Amino acid sequence: MKKEDTHRFETKAIHSGYDPKEHLDSLTPPIYQTSTFTFPSIEQGSKRFAGSEDGYIYSRLTNPTVTVLEERMAQLEEGEAALAFASGMAAVSAVLMNVTKANDHILCSQGVYGCTFGLLQLLKEKYNIDYTLSQLATAEDITSNIRENTTCIYIETPINPTMKLIDLQLVANLAKEKGIKVVVDNTFSTPYLQKPLKLGCDLVVHSATKYIGGHGDVIGGIVVGDLKVISEIKKTTQKDIGGVISPFDAWLLIRGIKTLAVRMERHCETAEVVARQLKNHSKVKKVYYPGHQSQSDHDVMTKQMKKAGGLLSFELSGTYEETIKVVDKLKLIKIAVSLGDAETLIQHPASMTHAVVPEDIRKRMGISNQLLRLSIGLEAWEDIWGDLEQALNAI
Ligand SMILES: *Cc1c(COP(=O)(O)O)cnc(C)c1O
């Protein structure tokens, strides 16, 4: 990491990690679309390989456009260093392979991204790395699930799609006593709303595909942590498994990050209005929005999040058929998984993102057949609500 940037978040999102003087005075970071770099001599080439001289070698190892993205994300998450990957899952798998070895145990929040769950299964089958899913709601919940061989606690908060929150500081304090690494998937909150490293967690992962990119046009992943663990991941799982991001995709993410703060403000503001409107509608049974589940949820929210975010779920009081009808009546709001885009998106967890989860477990997780998840976009709130209202009134 270069020297710490003391500017505010909004300013860092635009300037951090980039100095035009180092790039022919180009205002915006150039796309270094090259696979490899030339060495002035064999001697200098060998010094770069030995690490005794700075300089680029090959774009799977480092690329100047990707470096700008990594330094900017490290500054925004207030971590020492970051790495960019070809997808959120490439980032998650690189991290899980770093913090575990064969026969270890992972304690995981109940309700993680479907492919992360798939990866846990794979690690179990191939390397006998066991996992436990837990609510992680209380200190008792956490400590009673920690085993002798637990090396990692893996958390998503807010939890998809019920938007329950986990107290990151509580988990981090209990894990630290036992030398367990805490990994947080911060995709839903972004560093604008929540900074897990400042709360004592060890590593942050992102699907940069979502709010970080923010425009639904790129797949990417990020890992942030301290310099020691980030260099370990760089030299092992990143270099040798090789799921690196392309310079162009890194450039799209750099471009997206510039507006992260203003986008998040608007996503949050509109989500709050839509949540309130949905709550007051007679066809809506329940609204799931971070900080609204219970008093303790609200306390966690005010402690660790700046605002509640741009995602919410709601349950209809009608039947499954009526739920489907509402979605089919929408005109402006598009049916799609993914989130964090300028466009408002809706999806049906029971038949889409959580279809692989058996129905009884789904029920326990609070995912009924009448539950819908919304990713609030950047359109005018009146138009988003207008579309929802006409669809709700049609049943
Ligand atoms: C989308 C997502 C991922 C996976 O990211 P990809 O970029 O699609 O690989 C991981 N975690 C969360 C919370 C996500 O929403």
Nearest CA to 84 among 106, 55, 64?
A: 64
Rounded to the nearest angstrom, the distance between the alpha carbon of 283 and the centre of ligand 1 is 31
Q: Where are the beta strands (DSSP E) in the chain?
A: 81-85, 105-109, 130-134, 150-156, 181-185, 203-207, 221-225, 284-288, 311-316, 334-335, 345-347, 371-375
What span, in angstroms and rounded, lies between the C-alpha atoms of 246 and 32? Answer: 10
The residues that bridge with 82 in the sheet, in sequence order, are: 224
Q: Is 113 in the pocket of ligand 1 (CB under 6 A)?
A: yes
Helix (H, G, I), strand (E, B) or coil at 104: coil
Please check whether residue 222 is in contact with residue 82, taking contact to mean a CB–CB distance below 8 angstroms: yes
What pLDDT is recorded for position 354? 86
What span, in angstroms and rounded, lies between the C-alpha atoms of 278 and 282? Answer: 9
Please identify every stretch of the chain with a pLDDT value under 70, giving residue numbers as ranges.
1-3
Q: Is 89 in the pocket of ligand 1 (CB under 6 A)?
A: yes
Please give the order of strands across the beta sheet that includes 345-347.
284-288, 311-316, 371-375, 345-347, 334-335
Residue nearest atom 5 in ligand 1 by C-alpha distance: 88
Please check whether residue 207 is in contact with residue 353, taking contact to mean a CB–CB distance below 8 angstroms: no
What pLDDT is recorded for position 355? 86
Quote the DSSP letter at residue 158: S
The upper half-sphere exposure of residue 146, i.e. CA atoms within 13 Å in the direction of its Cβ, equals 21
Using one digit for the tens of pLDDT, what is the confidence trace for 32-70? 999 999 999 999 999 999 999 999 999 999 999 999 999
Rounded to the nearest angstrom, the distance between the alpha carbon of 389 and the centre of ligand 1 is 30
The residues that bridge with 150 in the sheet, in sequence order, are: 105
Rounded to the nearest angstrom, the distance between the alpha carbon of 79 and the centre of ligand 1 is 21
Rounded to the nearest angstrom, the distance between the alpha carbon of 340 and the centre of ligand 1 is 11
What pLDDT is recorded for position 2? 56
What pLDDT is recorded for position 362? 84
Q: Is 187 in the pocket of ligand 1 (CB under 6 A)?
A: yes
What pLDDT is recorded for position 111? 85
Q: Is 185 in the pocket of ligand 1 (CB under 6 A)?
A: yes
What pLDDT is recorded for position 1? 47
What pLDDT is recorded for position 82? 98
Nearest atom within ligand 1 for CA of residue 90: 9
Please check whether residue 99 is in contact with residue 151, taking contact to mean a CB–CB distance below 8 angstroms: yes
Q: Which residues contact 175 (CB under 8 A, 6 or more apart)?
A: 142, 153, 181, 182
In CATH, which superfamily holds the domain spanning 260-392? Aspartate Aminotransferase, domain 1 (3.90.1150.10)
- The one-letter amino acid code at 324 reads I
Nearest atom within ligand 1 for CA of residue 209: 7
Where are the chain's structural domains? 9-257, 260-392
Q: Is 375 in the pocket of ligand 1 (CB under 6 A)?
A: no
In words, the CATH class of domain 9-257 is alpha beta
Rounded to the nearest angstrom, the distance between the alpha carbon of 43 and the centre of ligand 1 is 43
Using one digit for the tens of pLDDT, what is the confidence trace for 97-108? 999 999 999 999
The upper half-sphere exposure of residue 316, i.e. CA atoms within 13 Å in the direction of its Cβ, equals 22
- Whether the model clears a pTM of 0.85, i.e. scores above it, the answer is yes
Rounded to the nearest angstrom, the distance between the alpha carbon of 377 and the centre of ligand 1 is 18
Nearest atom within ligand 1 for CA of residue 160: 13
Using one digit for the tens of pLDDT, what is the confidence trace for 235-268? 999 999 999 999 999 999 999 999 999 999 999 9
Q: Is 209 in the pocket of ligand 1 (CB under 6 A)?
A: yes
What pLDDT is recorded for position 359? 85
Nearest atom within ligand 1 for CA of residue 221: 7
What pLDDT is recorded for position 134? 94
Nearest CA to 361 among 105, 106, 110?
A: 110
Rounded to the nearest angstrom, the distance between the alpha carbon of 141 and the centre of ligand 1 is 26
